[in-house]
Structure 1
Amino acid sequence: MAVVTAKWTIEDYHRMIAAGILANRQVELLNGEIIEMAPEGTPHAAYSQEAGDYLRSILGRRAKVREAKPITLLNSASEPEPDIAIVALHPIEVYLQHHPYPDDIFWLIEFSDSSLSKDLEEKSRIYAAAGIREYWVINLRIMKLIVFRSPVDGNYQSSITLETGTIAPLAFPDLSISIDRLLGRSTG
């Protein structure tokens, strides 16, 4: 007889959170499974904080920059917590009702070292299946930015790796984001 793992729904997950079952646990829901998140090392924390501050300064009032907060992907029973989510500027009442849905998300960013394979594989597929147009992974091992775009059938059709220069996100093609700033090479 095959062993079948029970999958959790987003509603189950929210009930566990409300009941305090997951209190003091760093977890996220991925494809119906509650996954422990790796502890955040100092480089990860420093780079993601600097990038969040930088993105806030250049986006201004065009989008909200959420750091390490949940997003809800109903189609995959997933509620991951990306390092940075650039989302629509809805009134607070909207985000009091639910975490950002895919239609609210402009792009996502993960800073990755110990979780690199999970971020490049599992999370990439989850985000593509949810229709997230753009997903960036900053590989802290080799200090490069990997940009995924054009989700089709659960996979991104485009992937490029950058280590310098600038990039314009799909949602804001008039912006010029410094890759050096994202990689912590320049704070000017």
Structure 2
Amino acid sequence: MSAAREYGLDEDYEWARPPAGGWTADDLDRLPNLPAHTELIDGSLVLVSPRTFFHARTLRLLENALLDQAPDGLDAIREMTVKLDKSNRPEPDVLVYRADGDADTGPGQTWFRPEDVVLAVEVVSADSVDRDREAKPRKYAAAGIRHYWRVEEEKGLPVVYVYELDPATRAYVPNGVHRERLKLTVPYDIDIDLTALAPRGR
């Protein structure tokens, strides 16, 4: 039986009407016709607005740099969901994960476990400010993801707010605000020229 019929909904629009108790993390793989990059937060589907030029270029810069500089055993990828629990399956803009274990389950994989994620990165958009500043970092920290970056736009360039997990409190603590250059030693040696985001020819 399809998820649509199971919930008594039309195949084309079933995701618009949640069942009692909300959607579950597994529903994201079963619901047909979901818009791209749909997330699940507290049992509710979150639809994203169209990407801005800043957002798209920042994703490309960070993913490429994190991938190029990653040591053996780690990999970087963009826009894959993380199944935190039954009711939460957010999609970090970029994440770094452990590639030397069983995190990679094959070409049909759609999500990662939080224990496989080393770093989650969110690039703040106009419609994601509250989620990226408050809801998501709380959930990532509670799930044990050790590193979180929040990226915001300032004069056309990225500003990266870096956080590290305090294992005693299961909460993030600030670890620096970075403009123009992002240079860190955790979760591995990272050096990113943030001014490289400036449009070519300027």
TM bracket, shorter-chain basis:
0.7 to 0.9
RMSD: 2.9
CA offsets 1:25-46 (integer angstroms, 9 cap, x no match): 5411112211111221111111
The answer (yes or no) to whether the contact 1:116–1:139 under 8 Å persists in 2 is no
What is aligned with 1:140? 153
What is aligned with 2:95? 85
Sort the Cα spacing of 1:184 and 1:34 in 2 relative to 1 into closer, same or farther, 3 A.
same
For the pair shown, the structure with the greater C-alpha radius of gyration is 2
CA offsets 1:4-39 (integer angstroms, 9 cap, x no match): x732221233332xxx142x4541111221111122
What is aligned with 2:142? 129
What is aligned with 1:63? 74
Using structure 2 for the length normalisation, give the TM-score: 0.73
The answer (yes or no) to whether the contact 2:84–2:113 under 8 Å persists in 1 is yes
- How many residue pairs match? The answer is 175
The answer (yes or no) to whether the contact 1:65–1:87 under 8 Å persists in 2 is yes
Amino acid across the alignment from 1:102 = P
- Deviating beyond 6 angstroms after TM superposition, the runs of 4 or more aligned structure 1 residues are none
The answer (yes or no) to whether the contact 2:161–2:174 under 8 Å persists in 1 is no
Sort the Cα spacing of 1:109 and 1:169 in 2 relative to 1 into closer, same or farther, 3 A.
farther
The answer (yes or no) to whether the contact 2:80–2:92 under 8 Å persists in 1 is yes
Query: What residue ranges of structure 2 are gaps of 5+ in the alignment?
Result: 1-19
Sort the Cα spacing of 1:27 and 1:110 in 2 relative to 1 into closer, same or farther, 3 A.
same
What is aligned with 1:171? 187
Q: C-alpha distance in 2, partners of 1:183/1:80?
A: 28
Q: What does 1:1-188 align with in structure 2 at a 5 Å threshold?
A: 6-16=21-31, 20-22=32-34, 24-59=35-70, 61-74=72-85, 77-90=87-100, 94-96=104-106, 99-114=111-126, 115-141=128-154, 143-151=158-166, 155-158=171-174, 160-172=176-188, 175-178=189-192, 180-181=193-194, 184=197
Q: C-alpha distance in 1, partners of 2:132/2:179?
A: 18
Q: Secondary structure at the match of 2:30?
A: helix
**Percent identity for Structure 1 against Structure 2:** 22
